[in-house]
Amino acid sequence: MNGRRTDTVTMAKTALCVAVLCAASYFVIPIPMTPIVLSLHTVAVNVAGLLLRPREAAIAILLYIGMGVIGLPVFAAGTAGPDKLFGPSGGFYFGFLFAAVCISLLKGKKPSFLRHFLVTALVGLPVQHFFAVLFLCFYNGFHIPSAFLSASLPFLPGDILKCILAAGIALKINNY
């Protein structure tokens, strides 16, 4: 009986993380000089990694990506379609998957604001930004310096703040 409750809680937490990722897509701010928009995705991805086990974090991100690929308007600014995965911001979506799993693997057993912040800022962000830069280079023909200036540098200060927010949210939920 306890195993069923655990499975139900895990499924509910996973579904909640997918829903938060979808909702985060609608909070966007265009940034001049870059094809990428500022969104709350980083918060949602970090929280998913901090709340879920690696397998469930991967499932949550894959469900989110799958929803967008089949046409549900869940990507940034309510967009959808497979072309979004290979456009200027496509690298972030793949980075979300690897970042959430890495965060989940390294978050530790006991909830800790400092550890959560450090894992999201020093592991999750670099993973997300690596994929974003890589995709701009590979699919959009950017050189590494210009890809870094377009897909990473303008977002770093805000992303650090989002890591702080995600660490606080995860700590509250984990201690609930």
Q: What is the pLDDT of residues 144-157, one digit of tens each?
A: 999 999 889 989 99
Count Cα neighbours of 142 within 13 Å in the Cβ-side half-sphere. 23
Q: Which residues pair with 28 in a beta bridge?
A: 39
The two most distant CA atoms of the chain are separated, in Å, by 55
* Identity of residue 93: Y
Better-scored residue on pLDDT, 166 or 154: 166
Distance from C-alpha of 154 to C-alpha of 58, rounded to nearest angstrom: 27
pLDDT of residue 140: 82
37: tokens are 């928009």
pTM of the model: 0.93
Distance from C-alpha of 101 to C-alpha of 97, rounded to nearest angstrom: 6
Q: What is the pLDDT of residues 33-49, one digit of tens each?
A: 777 888 999 999 999 99
H-helix segments, the chain: 2-24, 41-51, 54-69, 90-106, 113-119, 125-140, 144-151, 156-174
Q: How confident is the model at residue 159 (pLDDT cuts 50, 70, 90)?
A: very high
For residue 1, pLDDT beyond 60: no
pLDDT of residue 37: 86
DSSP state at residue 175: T
Q: What is the pLDDT of residues 6-28, one digit of tens each?
A: 789 899 999 999 999 999 999 99
Q: What is the pLDDT of residues 66-119, one digit of tens each?
A: 999 999 999 999 999 999 988 888 999 999 999 999 999 999 999 999 999 999
pLDDT of residue 163: 98
